[in-house]
Amino acid sequence: MSISTTLSSINQITKEITRLEKALLDETKKEADITKKINSTKKSITKNTSVSTVNSKLGQIERYENDLVKTLNKKTDITKKIAQKREKLNSLNQKLQKEEQVESKRRQKEQEKVQKNYENRIDELTAQLKNNVSSNISEVGINTLDETLFEEKYDVFISHASEDKESFVRELADTLMKDYNIKVWYDEFSIKWGDSLRKSIDKGLKSSKFGIVIISKSFIKKGWTNYELDGLFQKEMTYGKTILPIWHDITKDEVQDFSPSLAGRKALNTSMYTIKEIAEELKNILDE
């Protein structure tokens, strides 16, 4: 039985218990009403009451007492059913607890697997970066390498999904450049007609001090964004802090599922920070 099925059973039994408790309350009120009628009828019999009237009232009392017995039997039956339902509810709650523990262990194993895959990927990227650096050194010499590979022409590279341009990214890039004089690599401004997309992105990644990563639902589904993110991770492994994450219309659980390492970093959230506040934060980092 799955957690959702168990929860459904718990909700159903809880509703049944509520219904039975209401029925028990109704029978309790009925019991009180019948008892009141019996006592009232008994009090109405006095020394001056005629024999025929006494017999009539005694017959009425007998009928009330029969109704009272039926009500007490119903109460006993309902009480028994409530006890059975509560016992079953307790059993289901224990079952739910065990199922949740199993599910928690399963998720933990999946997270550990994701983390392991991520660490392996970082190792692969690190080895690839070292090979690339060695190759560049052998081909162009250390002096040329200093001028080309490590030259920083941009303050920040913006990695994003195209679906987020209208809602956030384009305005962020405009604000950083026009209002804060920050040099930004942004595809709409930096890639010219006829340029190689991959080469332009590689050049932008190598030539930027930091990489702003706009993590959104669209971002985590894209191939290009993952390519850019791998490049930023490569650079960070060599030069230190490079990636500056921004969460845009996405939850922590969704980021966690995509990349545990990114979920563990301090990020700015567009639901809490305005574009101006984000720009101020970046400006402070660049001024350090």
* pLDDT at residue 225, as a whole number: 59
* pLDDT at residue 233, as a whole number: 72
Nearest-CA neighbor of 228 among 212, 216, 240? 212
* pLDDT at residue 196, as a whole number: 45
CA dihedral 189→192→198→204, nearest 10 degrees, is -40
**CA–CA distance, 38 with 74 (Å, rounded to integer):** 19
pLDDT truncated to tens, each residue of the chain (288 aa)? Answer: 578 888 889 999 999 999 999 999 999 999 999 999 999 998 888 888 888 898 898 999 999 999 999 999 999 999 999 999 999 999 989 988 888 888 888 888 877 777 777 667 766 766 666 565 445 434 443 343 344 444 558 888 888 888 888 889 899 989 999 899 998 888 765 545 444 445 556 676 778 888 888 888 888 877 655 666 677 777 677 667 778 889 998 888 888 887 777 777 788 999 999 999 999 998 888 887
Residues with catalytic function:
228
Neighbouring-strand partners of residue 269: 247
- Whole-model pTM above 0.85? no
| Count of all residues that appear for the chain in the document | 288
* pLDDT at residue 57, as a whole number: 85
